[in-house]
Amino acid sequence: MRKDIAKELASLCARNKDGSFATQADRANILHAAARTLQKAGYQNLAAASLKPKHVDVLLKQWQADGLATGTIKNRMAALRWWAEKVGKQNCVPRTNDAAGIARRSYVAKESKAQQLEPDTLSKIGHERLRVSMELQQAFGLRREEALKFQPGYATRSSPDAIELKASWCKGGRARTVPITTDYQREVLAKAAALAGKGSMIPPDKTYVAWLSTYKEATRTAGARKLHGLRHGYAQARFEALAGFPSPAAGGPSRADLTPEQRAIDLTVRLQISAELGHGREEVTAVYLGR
């Protein structure tokens, strides 16, 4: 019987629901694309359990030839390791990215990746709940999944001066609070409450996976892909508001040029922003703020 590697990998993903809904969806998309790449490379009758190092090499070389970012390639390699583990072929995929010859990723921003939502872009999004979820990403530095699963009633139940994010919305299951400090944040919260009330920003008749697919298609059509830059914008605005001077990524002084007093402020502010973004380490702020 002729094998269809794409169908086999889809079945593998359906049977093994490891990670969050977003992780599962991203993994399934990566493996589907990998299957098609292998088929185009001549492996038309490959079974999922027949994975070999040569297949991994084909994929890695194609991704590198496509000029994909280091972080993107590492995410795809993680999906391949998951595949290999599920079919008992762990040795087919290099255990580390160094062993695979993948360059180390730079975690210090060389230039600003901050984004702001343009009115024209928002006007192209046909679903009001999606528009407001995008504004939640901008106003509070939320990840995509957090903004889509956001429940206004729950988030504002404890304090008028901060939102509370449920662990199940957040990456790594880390609940957190984010302060409410601007009129814009309050306006966005009011919009969200009017739409969802005590429910979530996902319509009652939709699953998260289905609504995520709608989000991706709507933002792609509107030319608003890679909205992770909204978190960069939030981090840089918060840094300047708290520190009193811009971050290096936003044109401010580098850490080497700061006075001892400013360095102390810089560290304190970075730790706070790291917590607001849902990270546990100050070092991660270099991605958003530079160094």
Higher pLDDT, 101 or 163: 163
With 90 as the cut, is the pLDDT of residue 201 above it? yes
Q: Look up residue 271 and give its two tokens.
A: 């730790």
Residue 209 predicted with pLDDT over 70? yes
Mean pLDDT of 104-112: 68
In this predicted structure, the answer to whether residue 56 has a pLDDT above a threshold of 60 is yes
The pLDDT of residue 229 is above 80: yes
Q: Who's near 109: CB < 8 A, 6+ residues apart? A: 232, 248, 249, 286, 287, 288, 289, 290, 291
pLDDT band at 22 (very low <50, low <70, confident <90, very high): confident
- The CATH code of the domain at 125-221 is 1.10.443.10
**Cα–Cα distance between 235 and 276 in angstroms, integer?**
9
| 142, two tokens | 């939320």
Query: Whole-angstrom Cα distance, residue 289 to residue 248?
Result: 6
- At 111, the pLDDT band (50, 70, 90 cuts) reads confident
For the chain, give the mean pLDDT: 92
pLDDT over 70 at 104, yes or no: no
d(CA 222, CA 202): 20
Mean pLDDT of 191-207: 95
The predicted model scores a pTM of 0.71
Higher-pLDDT residue of 19 and 99 is 19
Average pLDDT of the residues in 169-182: 93
Domain ranges of the chain: 5-92, 125-221, 230-289
Of 166, 167, 138, 152, the closest CA to residue 200 belongs to: 152
Residue 1: per-residue pLDDT: 58
Which of 180-189, 193-202, 223-232, 270-279 is least confident?
223-232
Name, of 9-23, 97-111, 179-193, 225-239, the range with top average pLDDT.
179-193
What spatial distance separates the first Cα and last Cα of the chain, rounded to whole Å? 57
pLDDT in the model for residue 106: 56
Task: Give yes or no for residue 128 having a pLDDT over 60.
Answer: yes
Decide if pLDDT at 105 tops 90: no
pLDDT recorded at residue 2: 67
Q: What is the pLDDT of residue 86?
A: 94
Q: How far apart are CA 253 and CA 250, in angstroms?
A: 9
pLDDT at 3: 74
